[in-house]
Amino acid sequence: MRNVFLITTTLAFGLLINLEAHAGAVDSLQLEYQSQGAGSFSATSGEQMWKRRYLHKKSGKQRSCQTCHGKELTRSGKHARTGKVIEPLAVSANSERLTDIKFMKKWFKRNCKWTIGRECSAQEKGDFLEYLKGL
């Protein structure tokens, strides 16, 4: 009986730490965006922007987040040019996601530029995070 109690506590505690890591990184990043002038964040706006297609003038092709990340975020995606596998973005399928602030910043920068052709605003990035953390 004592053992069961111990295991349960440990498991619960572990889960809490894990959730904490996600919440911690995303929360502080969102706070940072708000300090840069963003308002409250909306998962719906994030989702809409995630799915929108943008015309890339040079190639004449449509680009969207889904081009590489795929339509199903719990599954892996594929780099549009090289075909390299991109691990799932949804936290429920990949616990490493949304835990590393430096990593998130780097890829927001790179991928906004590739997809939209400019860096995303603080509001847009916060909206993306709001959408992604619920997956």
Complex with another protein: residue 75 or 84, whichever CB lies closer = 84
We find the least distance from the C-beta atom of residue 105 to another protein, in angstroms, to be 10
Tokens linked to 35: 């300090």
How far separated are the first and last CA of the chain, in Å rounded? 36
Asked whether position 109 contacts another protein by CB under 8 A, the answer is yes
Q: Do the Cβ atoms of 131 and 43 come closer than 8 Å?
A: yes
Residue of 70, 110, 106 whose CA lies nearest to 90: 70
Asked whether position 58 contacts another protein by CB under 8 A, the answer is yes
Asked whether position 106 contacts another protein by CB under 8 A, the answer is yes
**Which residue spans within the chain are E strands per DSSP?**
54-56, 61-63, 77-78, 85-86
Helices of type H across 52-99: 65-69
Binding another protein (rule: CB under 8 A), the pick from 15, 84, 92, 134 is 84
Asked whether position 114 contacts another protein by CB under 8 A, the answer is yes
Q: Do the Cβ atoms of 124 and 42 come closer than 8 Å?
A: no
Asked whether position 60 contacts another protein by CB under 8 A, the answer is no
Complex with another protein: residue 13 or 107, whichever CB lies closer = 107
Residues in contact with another protein by the rule CB under 8 A: 58, 79, 81-84, 106, 109-110, 113-114
